[in-house]
A and B are shown apart, each in its own frame.
Chain A
Amino acid sequence: MINRIEIGFRQEIRDALGEKIKKRIVEHLRIQVDSVKTFEVYTIEGDLTSGDLEAAARGPLSDPVIQEYAIGRGLASGFDWLIEVGYRPGVTDNVGKTAAEAIALLTGKPVRVYTSRQYAITAVRGRCNLDLLTRNDAERIASELLSNDLIQRHEIIDGRTWNPAQAIKPYVPRVTGEECIRTEEIDLDCPDEALVRISQERVLALTLEEMRILRDYLKNDAVLARRKEVGRGSRMTDAELECLAQTWSEHCKHKIFNARIVYDDGEGNISEIDSLFSTCIKRSTREIRARMGANDWCLSVFSDNAGIIRFNADWNLVFKVETHNSPSALDPYGGALTGIVGVNRDPFGCGKGAKLIFNTDVFCFAPPDYDKPLPKRILHPRRIYEGVREGVEHGGNKSGIPTVNGCLVFDERYLGKPLVYCGTGGIMPARINGEPTHTKEIRPGDLVVMTGGRIGKDGIHGATFSSEELHEGSPVTAVQIGDPIIQKKMTDFLLVARDRGLYRAITDNGAGGLSSSVGETARLSGGCEIDLKKAPLKYPGLNPWEILISESQERMTLAVPPETIGEFLDLARKMDCEATVLGLYTDSGWFHIRYGEETVVYLEMDFLHDGLPQMTLRAAWTPPGLTEPAVPEPANLGEALKTMLGRLNICSKESVVRQYDHEVQGGSVVKPLTGVVNDGPSDAAVIRPLLDSFEGIVIANGICPRYSDIDAYHMAAAAIDEAVRNAIAVGAPLDRLAGLDNFCWCDPVRSEKTPDGEYKLAQLVRANQALYAITTAYGVPCISGKDSMKNDYQIGAVRISIPPTLLFSTLGKMEDVRKAVTMDVKKPGDLVYILGKTFRELGGSEWYALHGAIGNAVPKVDAKTAKTRYEALHRAISAGLVASCHDCSDGGLGVALAETAFAGGLGLEIDLKAVPAEGITRNDELLFSESQSRFVVTVSPGAREAFEALLAGPDCARIGTVISEGVLKANGLSGTRIIEEELAALKAAWQRPLAF
């Protein structure tokens, strides 16, 4: 029996969601509407009496104080158009699941519930009552704002013909599975063209060379003999093919980072690089750790789901940043939500498992006011912006993890694929029951257990899909929607199980699902044998290969010793978290997957993990040969400063920040917004993870994609410097900073589609060379990282590639958070200093971007002098000599001074002549150069002597004073007043652009 219950607000109650939607219809779609009312619809499948329905509607489904309900009839009335949006079959419906549980508890009857939402829209009535809002308008509102056709369906009802008594016919998006479950065999003994076709048709993303390796593997007699014993032969099963495609995907195997690269540096030198990952990233960490010797605080680097470092004698910190770009391009909300709850599972599934204590997010979008025609399959950047923002809001807030900082970067080239970086940190006891927690061990005979959510068809081919560009045939099943509450229940349970010692190892199910999680952990014991038929499914009809590689969310895989399995399962039952034994870890050397009695995968562990030979690629660097543009010096630099403050990459992100809970867990010390009225932009976050201690953690990010247009070496160097100096600015010590590298690139492999692949790969080489140089110079080891190499869009002749982008994130240990410093000026009379020299480095700057130019003089990091400065500044901060400290980044000194002043609500009087500079003759260049490693610092007069003694040197200068008058005043290089701007005006210019 199927029934519909509709819930709406009573007439006099404000419908905030409806108002928000109306605003978006008017502002984004430019369609005039008078009002929007929203209604929640529950379509209930189950054996309920009219009394049950009444109780459900009155009870858990509606709020009797403000809402009304209708059962089996329409509630909306008086509208011009009614749009109802519901999910397509198989799409995660979190509200439906909660409603079903609530109704089952209330009535004692099992039900299925599917939710949808109605938007009742009325047109603006003019004097003549013509067709003010056409069906076409309604269709646009539905498809461009309310419904994402990939995962949702919508229905439009004309108000003129609407009869509420008739109601809308219930629609049940039940998954109707295929009747027969089967395992297909594929003959790979075929010509090359056929191999390529098999790879393409099955979204395997395997190259011809890789397909040939698979073909040849099945010609090995020893392999065939063993396969025969389990009933398989010389053909590969679909499950085997999918499992190999996933394990060998760029996403999971990082083939480009591990490739042998022949690199031509453009100056006649050709060198061979045996894996960028080994020779740049890992090598840097290895060398830094060797230098630290006995003081080495790194515990687990590059080997687990996240990096682990020591916090203090009793606690370890864990940190990981991931991207979820491709799914976010297709479904911004679900993609981003899955991105954040997905990265949560990395620290959670690291070592013995960590409690999650912070999130940090960085998004790269095309400008939200983009007004050119959109290429096919691309959503408007504003829709991506709102969807991603909301997805991360729900994922982060509902998981109870504070989003402590982040940033937004805008560039039109993120139109094809937005970048959604989500990072999560955790904390774990250094030892549990006397055993260290940062290592992983599995013994043969341990049970393979899956916990958390069930498996559906969602997220199939995520790993292979993200290893290619977004194209016409990109699979919709790759999109998933996460459920933070299922995950919270699971993490609550598993932390208890961890502390009771009920499992031996834990890992997450992310890309590649069970295939990856079991495949990876089985390396620790040397094999496994599991039965997919035991895996709990969301609905029937999944083939074995789908169960194996589905990326359905909220699942962890554990190795549980037989002695504790009983207690483990009891606890799971009690804490309402599903846990299922799938099989055993073995030491057979084989990855053995059954479906019931039938073997569906039988592959050697060695072949699965090491059967893929190293790729060889060519990289050739040619400097782009750009020149400096002729930008005239503006007559009014105050106006220029305001224009700069209103640039999307500089302006306030407060509207986004406030929608993220940045204080939950109670340890917030430096918040993302700071200052006299809590709206200045903090450089980094500081939190106290242990509430009875003043030891703290500093979290910061650096990202400078524009510099890639000139040289990705300096892009990477600047990103690392920015992440380091942001952390230093709030009080982190340089020698306790760890780094995370997260590379998002456009396809760097030369092919027909990518004729400039060798250049793009050279950019990657150079970025890694910079990473090695700068991290070793600073002594900041990378502890984990990630890469996403196919951030391109190609449909028809349109190809959009992102600018090569490195997000560098830092995690620091601060001995005493009470020494932390914020960026806002504190008191009139305080002295203003600049630390670090300004060069004529406007290449790739916001100032040049404002003038539509790139330029060539890209900012360069001088790590040696910067290191000395960072250490001296840290001593000054630790000694309590610094009143405020703000780094100079996008928009340079001018922007940093303005932000420092208006955040503290006090003016500044600045003499630009005093600024240490080289090669600069113009005020605009001095104000907006983006030279690296600089800070604006204020110091109280009483601390002047001690501060100057610590920072003495040619790069540090006193350039002005803090004044009580709320005005930013600056005298230029010739001594005359060039800026005199009210702080209120500066702040307004900075706050306006993204205040929606």
Chain B
Amino acid sequence: MPQHIRAIVITGNGTNCEMEMAHACRLAGFDKVEIVHLSELLCGQKKLDDYHFLNLPGGFLDGDDLGSAKAGANRILHASVAGKEERLFDQFLRFIGEGKLILGVCNGFQLLVKLGMLPGFDGHYDRQAVTLTFNDSGRFEDRWVHLRVDPASPCIFTQGLRGLHLPVRHGEGKFIARDKGILERLHRERLVAVQYSDEDYREATQDYPANPNGAVDGIAGICNATGRIFGLMPHPEAFLHRTNHPRWTREELPEEGMGLALFRNAAAFLRSVAF
């Protein structure tokens, strides 16, 4: 008997992809999907402990005014939950500690990285080791990209996938690691789950616009060592049905959009483990 799995989608302060992310969770079979405003967490009305799958959607936290997700990360690190002796960050740490799943997309990925939760080497979830910064083009861009999936990555979300075709919609998506050692470790531990690639998902690419932002080694998304925290710049929740595809009027496509697979994997994993 599969257990009752619950997804939370956090919104507020400039987040804007919560609706389609929640829709993805529903389509993937989560028993309960809730869009929760950050203020509901901060006032203690809701708590992360009640969920199994934490979604951090795209948007512009605080306008990305201090750099993408910077002010948002500052809030999670330092704001305390009303009526409790804990920071919101402590709830995040507990959530991770229990082996639950976190998916950050676009601004959500930027948030995970700026917090330090990704890559979260050696369990240090508040030490920023990599970043996502301004696209080489110097501009925000909306375009579809191909992603090569590393089949050997521990990432729970990309299990069984070979490639993904999804849109990017960002101005700050260029992945940079603090130093060579960090970059090498990411590759060595197969934490680079998805890379911008050619159309056949074979080779990672640095060529614009296939690599839309100049990300180092075409890195589009990374996971932590357990594969349970995953962030990526492209939007899986933007491709849930074939009519989302830019060429659906000219290509034979399956009814279901490619992005849904990530959410299905999350659901399948959570049903397979006990909490």
Contact = CB atoms under 8 A, between A and B. Distances in A.
7 contacts: A14-B214, A60-B73, A64-B178, A102-B62, A664-B169, A665-B19, A666-B19
B20 interface: yes
A66 B59 CA distance: 22
A557 B15 CA distance: 24
A492 B143 CA distance: 28
Given A98-B65, A658-B141, A666 B249 contact: no
Interface string B135-146: 111111111100
Interface residues of B, number: 63
A61 B66 contact: yes
Interface stretch (A600-608, A766-774, A821-829): A821-829
Given A400-B16, A492-B11, 18 more contacts: A20-B138, A60-B70, A99-B65, A99-B66, A105-B75, A399-B16, A485-B14, A574-B39, A575-B39, A658-B139, A658-B143, A661-B169, A663-B244, A664-B17, A669-B243, A670-B249, A691-B19, A824-B249
A660 B142 contact: yes
Contact of B65 (A94, A393, A691, A692): A94
B133 A485 contact: no
Contact of A488 (B14, B142, B214): B14
Interface in A1-44: 13-14, 16-17, 19-20
Contact of B244 (A398, A576, A668, A821): A668
Nearest to A820: B249
A63 interface: yes
Interface in B125-177: 128-131, 133-144, 167, 169, 176-177
A678 B245 CA distance: 10
B13 interface: yes
Residue among A62, A63, A101 with max Cβ neighbours from chain B (10 Å): A63
Nearest to B242: A818
Interface of B: 11-17, 19-20, 23, 37, 39-40, 43, 58-60, 62-67, 70-71, 73-75, 78-79, 114, 128-131, 133-144, 167, 169, 176-178, 214, 235, 237-238, 240, 243-244, 246-247, 249-250
A607 B237 CA distance: 54
Nearest to B250: A826
Interface in A104-124: 105-106
Contacts of B135: 16
A904 B250 contact: yes
B37 A492 contact: yes
A105 B79 CA distance: 7
A485 B60 contact: yes
Contacts of B39: 574-576
Interface string A805-834: 000000000000110111010100000000
A778 B140 CA distance: 40
Contacts of A666: 17, 19-20, 23, 237-238, 240, 244
A-B pairs with lowest CB-CB distance, top 10: A400-B16, A666-B20, A98-B65, A20-B138, A16-B138, A65-B131, A60-B74, A485-B63, A16-B134, A95-B65
Contact of B58 (A485, A664, A669): A664
Contacts of B244: 663, 666, 668-669
A398 B238 contact: no
Given A60-B70, A65-B176, A488-B14, A397 B140 contact: yes
B232 to A, nearest CB: 16
A817 B243 contact: yes
Interface in A625-674: 657-671, 673-674
A675 B23 CA distance: 28
A496 B40 CA distance: 12
A400 B138 contact: no
A228 to B, nearest CB: 49
B246 A691 contact: no
B71 A101 contact: yes
Nearest to A403: B142
Interface in A128-149: none
B63 A98 contact: yes
Given A60-B74, A400-B59, A575-B37, A393 B136 contact: no
Contact of B16 (A105, A488, A669, A904): A488
A550 B244 CA distance: 42
A659 B139 contact: yes
A733 to B, nearest CB: 18
A661 B142 contact: yes
Given A65-B130, A666-B238, A692 B23 contact: yes
Contacts of A101: 62, 71
B140 A661 contact: yes
A403 to B, nearest CB: 9
Contacts of B15: 400
Contacts of B23: 666, 691-692
A59 B237 CA distance: 31
Contacts of B131: 63, 65-66
A432 interface: no
